[in-house]
Structure 1
Amino acid sequence: MDTTMSASQQQRSSLMPMAIIGTLFFIFGFVTWLNGALIPFLQIVCDLTSTQALFVAFSFYIAYTVTALPMAWIMERTGYKKGMALGLGLIALGCLGFIPAAMSQTFAIFLVSQFVVGTGLTILQTASNPYIVHIGPQESAAVRISIMGLLNKGAGVVAPLVFTALVLGDFEGITAKTVATLAPAERAAQVEQLAHGLILPYLGMALAMVLLTIAMVFSPLPELALDTDADDTEDDKRSVLQFPQLVLGAVGIFCYVGVEVIAADTIGLFGSELGVANATSLTSYTMAFMVIGYLLGLVLIPRVLKQSLALTLSAVLGLVLSLAVVLGSPEQHWLSDTLWGWLGLPTVPNTVALVALLGFANAMVWPAIWPLALDGLGKFTAKGSALLIMGIAGGALLPLLYGYLSDVADHQQAYLMMLPCYLFILYFALAGHKKRRW
């Protein structure tokens, strides 16, 4: 009787923290996947090559690598709750930086602002993930993590659509191709109008972050005690680098985040190059397939599929789709006609639809790599997690390589670079995660 009451009270007491952290995870997704709309937009506004435009993703994701340790140090001194408030404040500051950047159309200010936003998200991610594990029963932690993941990916569907509606509402059908055909004076006037369209949305985002910062400070979110548990592990291990499954997992995370960002953030550039209307909203297609894959994974893992098998199938599908993008026809639309055209949604060339389908292939890679890479680490788990977080740098570096290849060859052929990434993920799924000694 008393146990039932205790469990019931614990469930009720975790609802408010869950709602607060769930809001944060939606913000993570919204801000992160806004990049897919921002990249083709800034390519037009700042007259950029594909490589230059993808520095938007680089400046965002490199913040995770550069600021992870300093932000963790700050959080140890401020506590988790104040750390999350600081992260929200930094996102607000970064959003405010978009206003002078838009007024002057200065790409460098956009990049600095992106880095500040990425830094804010770094501390939010570092602080909020442990909460999900600790605010309820350990046996239901996986369910809470899955709910947070769906909020994150769902925000990725919404963000590009909101951006396109608010910023490009008066410029329907505009692409890099259509702007390039305008006379110089007309082009300059239209670009200035486009740039100024960023001001109000980003001012609104900054104000929303300020309000959330204040709400976080006064929220009933309990402070977490830092876990200093020292589990037993193999006596001869003195460094995380002595765990092959972890090191190979970090490389796998590097490859995965790289291909995930390429699929979500280059689809707009690719579509714009092909003259697809409202190319800034194309990231929503990738994220929608990611949500479908995530839901399917929740149903099948581990009831039907083991994590290693799910990772293997994801890697194989990624290889097949990457090859199909390179070999597909940019003139035909039958794939999107079949998949979603019957719903009345705008169709896209087959090659663009195949990039969107990569979202489905990528959906379960992150949640599958983590447990396989951390298995058996014992007291090294915390440091191992930090090493895996460093792998997010793949989202900064690999899209730049894609941008370079698309400039020297073309966008379609550049997707060949994804093949070695999926091959490594396949190796980790089949053999890498089983290694225990070098």
Structure 2
Amino acid sequence: MAGPIASFGSPAAGTATRDQSSYRPALSLLASLFFMWGFITVINNTLLPHLRSVFDLSYTQTTLIESVWFIAYFVASIPAAKLIARIGYQRALVVGLGIMALGTLGMVLASHQVSYAITLTALFVIASGITLLQVAANPYVAVVGPPETAPARLNLVQAFNSFGTTLAPLFGGYLILGRSASGNATAGATLSPAERLADAQSVQLPYLIVAAILVVLAVVIARFPLPAIGGGSEAAKRAAKAERGSLSLWRHRNLVFGVPAIFIYLIAEIGVSNLFINFVSQPEIGDLTHTQASHYLFLLWGGMMVGRFIGSYLMQGRSAETILAGAALAAFTVMLVATFGTGPLAMWALISVGLFHAVMFPTIFTLGIRGLGPLTEEGAGLLIMAIAGGSLVVVQGWAADRFGLQHSFLITAACELYVLFYALWGSRPGRKASARA
């Protein structure tokens, strides 16, 4: 990138704080990236029940689609960091958007071939491009202002990510589910071969639109004067590298427990969103078509957007740990209601979990890199790799096949308890780390 990302407490971070207004245009542009990768990620949630009908998949095979998406985070994170160091921050963003556009065109090819394998490959390519954007954008936002307001700042920018996730179900519901036989069929209906072929081809227009938007955004970013964060003289860079070599990430308890916190939280978030449409479509829950259910998925992601704005505001006067603990406890409670309740009560309980999930990723991320100093970049890379936890949603798919879809959400409830543990104890810096910070 154009110089290393500034670490909390470094002179570069202080400079950014004093001249914060110069970064506002860049943060606004980055907000558009957060919006786009949120939008594309949730298009998958609309796509999954559609593909389940087209390919006649089990829940395990359906959630494997999303598992492949999140495996890309694990595979691509380290290469992404090396690419950013080699070609620079701005060019890496352009490359990431180009990779995403290539993947979306792969989805058009998959619709022509009606191929499950090509679909998995195309989604892996899209996710690899998003990983490249994530590795740089999240720590950039975290260090561009005062360390004490980093959780509030990242929650605010992540709200634009949630804005994308909120609009995506409407887009996908209208252009994919609304134009397909599977989207308008009742639960358990069997499609004819001709209907499956037509449904497979219904994804072409949405993904062509997304590919065009990604190309336009890549051109805008390529021409935008993005400011460098960090940097300095070559001598300063060598000194920072030597200092990093004498320190250990494993002395920072907040990072050591933060990596599994991100990993486990993603299992919860992705499990809810992936199986949401199938859950609320059940006769004993909402008795809806998939198209109707996609409108309620809009409310789930809308709750995450609202929750991030609320969380950002609350963190101005309360500790991030307190807000995170309250959100985890509330999420655990509503997941138990969704698991053991029926009818509208269970449906609205599952919808409401988005409001409480909202603050979890950005807050865990900023608590995880707190006090790392020169190790901030390495710690951020590990936290982004932990997004691969979403790949284990296939375990919930297996549980849904074996024990029933509703009872599979006990896995989600267990994930909320780990987040509660992290907020109350795991996020505290260790004594040695505190002394160094």
Q: 1:226 to 1:258 in 2, by over 3 A?
A: farther
Q: Distance in 1 between matches of 2:126 and 2:423?
A: 33
Shift of residue 143 of structure 1? 6.2
**Structure 1 contact 230–379 (Cα < 8 Å) conserved:** yes
Alignment of 1:57-72 (within 5 A): 57-72=66-81
Q: 1:417 corresponds to which residue?
A: 411
Q: Distance in 1 between matches of 2:184 and 2:282?
A: 8
Alignment of 1:200-279 (within 5 A): 200-226=205-231, 228=237, 230=240, 238-274=247-283, 275-277=287-289, 278=291, 279=293
**Structure 2 contact 400–406 (Cα < 8 Å) conserved:** yes
Q: 1:351 corresponds to which residue?
A: 346
Q: 2:4 corresponds to which residue?
A: none
Q: 1:359 to 1:131 in 2, by over 3 A?
A: same
The 10-residue stretch of structure 1 (55-64 or 277-286) with the greater mean CA deviation from structure 2: 277-286
Shift of residue 321 of structure 1? 1.2
Alignment of 1:104-143 (within 5 A): 104-132=113-141
Are 2:384 and 1:376 aligned?
Answer: no
Shift of residue 173 of structure 1? 8.1
Unaligned runs of 5+ in 1: 1-5, 334-349
Q: Distance in 1 between matches of 2:81 and 2:104?
A: 22
Q: Distance in 2 between matches of 1:145 and 1:423?
A: 23
| Number of matched pairs | 407
Unaligned runs of 5+ in 2: 1-14, 433-437
Q: Secondary structure at the match of 2:221?
A: helix
RMSD over equivalenced CA pairs, Å: 3.0
Q: 2:157 aligns with which of 122, 132, 148?
A: 148
Q: 1:408 to 1:48 in 2, by over 3 A?
A: same
Identity percentage over the alignment? 30
Q: Distance in 1 between matches of 2:367 and 2:26?
A: 28
Note the alpha carbon deviations across 1:155-204, whole angstroms, 9 max, x for none.
111001111111233348836755x434xxx6222221111111121112
Note the alpha carbon deviations across 1:308-360, whole angstroms, 9 max, x for none.
2112111211221111111101xx33xxxxxxxxxxxxxxxx32221111111
Calculate the TM-score normalised by the size of structure 2. 0.84
**Structure 2 contact 151–366 (Cα < 8 Å) conserved:** no
Q: 2:189 aligns with which of 181, 186, 189?
A: 181
Shift of residue 103 of structure 1? 1.6
Note the alpha carbon deviations across 1:372-411, whole angstroms, 9 max, x for none.
33333332222222222222111111x1111000001111
Q: Distance in 1 between matches of 2:224 and 2:52?
A: 40
The letter for the 1-side match of 2:409 is Y
Q: Distance in 1 between matches of 2:48 and 2:376?
A: 36
Q: Distance in 2 between matches of 1:14 and 1:380?
A: 23
Shift of residue 90 of structure 1? 0.3
Q: 1:243 to 1:51 in 2, by over 3 A?
A: same
**Structure 1 contact 64–122 (Cα < 8 Å) conserved:** yes
Q: Distance in 1 between matches of 2:420 and 2:124?
A: 32
Q: 2:395 corresponds to which residue?
A: 401
Alignment of 1:286-325 (within 5 A): 286-303=300-317, 305-325=318-338
**Structure 2 contact 107–118 (Cα < 8 Å) conserved:** yes
**Structure 1 contact 176–272 (Cα < 8 Å) conserved:** no
**Structure 2 contact 20–144 (Cα < 8 Å) conserved:** no
Q: Distance in 1 between matches of 2:251 and 2:126?
A: 34
Q: Distance in 1 between matches of 2:189 and 2:366?
A: 51
Q: 1:20 corresponds to which residue?
A: 29
Q: 1:314 to 1:16 in 2, by over 3 A?
A: closer
Q: 1:212 to 1:414 in 2, by over 3 A?
A: same
Q: 1:328 corresponds to which residue?
A: 341
**Structure 1 contact 39–269 (Cα < 8 Å) conserved:** no
Calculate the TM-score normalised by the size of structure 1. 0.84
The 10-residue stretch of structure 1 (315-324 or 114-123) with the greater mean CA deviation from structure 2: 315-324
Q: 1:25 to 1:111 in 2, by over 3 A?
A: same
Q: 1:341 corresponds to which residue?
A: none
Q: 1:311 to 1:233 in 2, by over 3 A?
A: farther
Q: 1:191 corresponds to which residue?
A: 196
